[in-house]
Chains A and B, each alone.
Chain A
Amino acid sequence: MKALISLPANIVGYVIALAIFVAGILIINAFWYQFQTIPLEKPEKSTACDLAYVISIWNEITERPNIFEKSKLVAKNKQNLEDKIFENSTLFLPGADLFFGIVEDESNWNYTLYVPSESEITFDTCKKVTIAPKSYKELEKTDVSLWTFLPPIAMYEATTNFIGEAFEEAREKEYLESVTTYNEIFGVCSLPAFIKEGDEIKTGTMVAGFTSNVATWLREGIYNLLVSGEKSYYHPLGTYPVGCLNTLGFEKYEDEKPQQVEWYQPFLEFFISPLSAIGWIADKFPVIYADCEFNWNWEYDGNKFVINVTPKRPWWFLGESCKLSTRIPKSIVEEYNLTSKLCYPKRTSLLVYAPEGMEIFGAKKKYFYLKMEKLDAGFKNEDNAISYCKTRCVTEGISGLCKYWCEYGDDIFDVDCGSMVCLFAQDKIHEFYRLPRDAIDIKYIVVEEDKLEEKNWKFEDIEESEYYKYTSVCSSWPSVFECESSEQCEEGKSCIRYGVVELGDKKGIDKSCGFCSPADKDKLCSPWYLSRAPTVTQGFYTCQDVINYSAPLNLNRFSECLPAIKVSFTGPNVGCKTNPKRGDKLESEDCTIKILDIGKKKLEFEWTYYLKFYIYHEGRYCGEKKIYDGETRRYCNDGCVVSFNYPEVCLSATRINCSSHSNAKIKWKINAKNICSRTLKSYNPTKDEFETYTATTGFCPKMKFWCNIDKSKTYYLDEVASGPSYEIEIEQQVCRGNERYNNAEKVFIVADLHTEKGDMRYILPYTEIELVE
């Protein structure tokens, strides 16, 4: 006792604190169930109830709150009502469609409303359970006969309520719901309602709820990618999704993943050579495949954007097709320019060995997924265009040789690309660059169970190379269509092949309406990457073969339609002549030209001596002989530049020897006047004469320039920075004493072109000068 009393004060405090703690824990746990019963409700149900509430107080169809007037309901234009709710409602859930119904208790009268109306079809043709010709239970124990005339078919199509009705046993219903995709009804809010007919008011039930199916999941994916800005979206489709049909093949025992053999093949062979057919069958075993088709499409009439998914049916099946349909609100379609981003559908199917319920030879269970992603998310690496090209080759069934052409990458345009396969690969590389970065690609994927287990059932962690099978259900994208006519090229439409025209005398639209490739250098074009592009014949843009400056360690050349900026430079080794005559010669340190013909707009000349440094070029005419007023042309990769700005002709060598040009400076003159401003004439009646004034063209590119050896001075091309002349002068010392400035091997002007689809940073053509000591 004495010992207890003499317990130190801190021990007593500890015991009290422990007692308080225990009491606290006891109280918390005693009320634990109360905390647990805080309503956790799926938002869908709440939204469905909200819809029912909103409709129940809508004065256009109700007499008093929750007292619906039958005559008003019947007279109401359902289509308008559905559109009103769907297009303007905040009740929109991208992954589900709404339905609303009123049923009178005393009669069979009912009123239904599907929002959007397109979703009604899922209740119309898909309400029956279609499992033909055998139920799944029979399929489970199917004794596959070699001589079955029709292959065993499994088809699961229904709305969940109807699955429930058809199968009394909950186990069967659960099984079907777990293996197949179906038109699910959920979040149902069922409430008493009153219906007025004449003077009498009857009792009834108002039901609001949601349906979801493959079509709504497609819409949810579109919404998540475009509106919510997510990179990718996926949805599991079960182990036997709608659109799968079992079929019969014959394979050898030892094949783990045998190739498909059509079921009719042995029959065919039997008739041709009975003995060989018997032999053929003898060493094989019948196996079941699932031929799983994803057949979808979209339609847009300028008002309604409808998505449809139509599951495959066997050829002999006479029933109506269970088409799943939904709509996307017009506001989303327009605001996010969906029609240019969502691909054109491709009907495609995957053949899956040993499908659900038919797992034999220890085959792994397969799970189907729908995956949607932005193209820029799917092709992240440096060679994304090539990667895209290869993937399209695979998914569009042109593998092998096509992939070989893809390997060429940018060089694909330098090789002899005459075959259809090469052109296909070429188109795909161009297509990649022209696609909107947030264009949507949709894939139909099968993954084996063990891969999912490895990743802890996180499908998103599985690499593309680990998929059992996959296919893109996209054929192409609306924004990269081929120009239907030369007029479309002329209009600067964003079609995959756009117009190029010959310069000078041959002005007109090239019928081929081709890409900018090295062969099209200096031809006029219309930029695909501008939403408001100048036409080809306006002559503001030309095909240019430029060096990409964004990847300085891996400089790569690309052909692109770029602003036709005029560039000239002055410095050592530049010789100019004003009003030269036919036969005159212009000489520089490195090369010489002879004037053949000169007019106000066109200069014709020939190289008389080319590149003294390089013997192998000597005596060759390198490049073209004609240039036009205000232009600068360059020939070969090194050498000289001739510029013509009537009446002045200049010849400049693109090589400066600092040993002989101490402290040399270069002054580049960049001129974008022809793109940015135009001269107009207006009649002045007081003076009785025409006055000229300048106005902007509206197509002035957003550009900035700097010299590669001095990034501190950046020059912007706009009316404020460059003045109304749209001329920029950049002066740079390139030799320090007799040595190269900063030991630079080359000096040039970097152009940064800002576009809606990203920036392009490239070396401005005709500005490169090599420095030697």
Chain B
Amino acid sequence: MNHFVTEGYVLPNQMHIYWTTMIVLYPYITGIVAGAFIISSLHHVFDRHELEPVSRFAMIMAFAFLLFATLPLMAHLGHPERAFNMMFTPNPTSAMAGFGFIYTAYLVLLAVEIWLLYRADFVFLAENAKWPVMRRLYWLLALGVMDVSPEAKALDRKVMIFLASIGIPAACGLHGYVGFIFGAIKANPWWASPLMPVIFLLSAIVSGVAMVLVCYLTVQWVKKREINGPCAYALIESAWYFLIIDVTLELLELLNRAYMANDDWQILKALITTKLFTSFFIIQILLGSMIPFFLFGSVVVLKDRMAAGTRNAIGLVGGVLLLMQVAAMRWNVVMGGQMFSKSFRGFLNFDVEIWGREGLVVAGLVFSLPFITMLVISQILPLWGGIDTFPKKFMKDVEPPRRTLKGYSKFG
């Protein structure tokens, strides 16, 4: 039995923290999904052409992360073998019951979007991939239909734009409902807030944009390829705007609580000034919000006057800080809400589990799976450009259709 060191009076059943690392990891993963999808949609739906170099990657990244979003939950459940009860007998008043359906619907939506995005490539590779087994795979991925006529492509494009437009509210739902899971719990004053779904969603977008930015800069640097200036700038700018709204709302919520000073304020004040001081003020606010705010702000304000190398370096550092900020935010919400007792008279200390079903090692493993998946996918599909950027060694000696990235996105 885990023994948690307590101070003051903690209710007997609260001597144990129930929602730990896995429940911090789950919204982090779905948040990255939402943010990456927004980036991709900015390109497909809102015609932000600068984001073209990352739009395919962002979609694949969203999909790769979404594939593993259920793992932390399964590792947490007392009865993971009954997990499907949430979809078989969902309680209509429970936000958590929405998980199964929202998740599945979104997974299907993303899968279809990616399928439509890459369908022409599947058809091409079904003919021109080097190995027979791979040709079979591409044929299956194309669902056996080799139609890439202009009419089919036009239809694809229409459906893709439709899906991308409903994908944005769907992404809001996918992450908004997680915020609602916390925000609607009146029993926990640290969680109960109508702003919680909005804050979760905005920080999700920040984390997704930051992850796309960090991955883009890292991959291009490792592969010694050119970093597209307007693209990097657009990512930094989007992250900056969303960061501003996100931190504004987070601080507004805190300010509101402090000002109203309800019966819960004494314990919450003690919570954030003692137990959460480092993780909230130092990591989340100072390092995770203020520094990226100034860093990215200087990129946005200076624009072309800033050297590309400086901008990329700031993008990388700031992106990593933002990823840390969102992880800290999730931690502060989930763990912070359980580190004080509902008696309002006591605290618990949380010793992070390293091994064990819900430990850091498992969290690290789960978090690395999307990256491994993307590596595998990069061997099957071109992540960063058109089919002409796909390694020649995977294909027969045929010249792939030469399309500029611009033309490709317009399906023209």
A and B: bona fide binding partners:
no
- A residues in contact (CB < 8 Å) with B: none
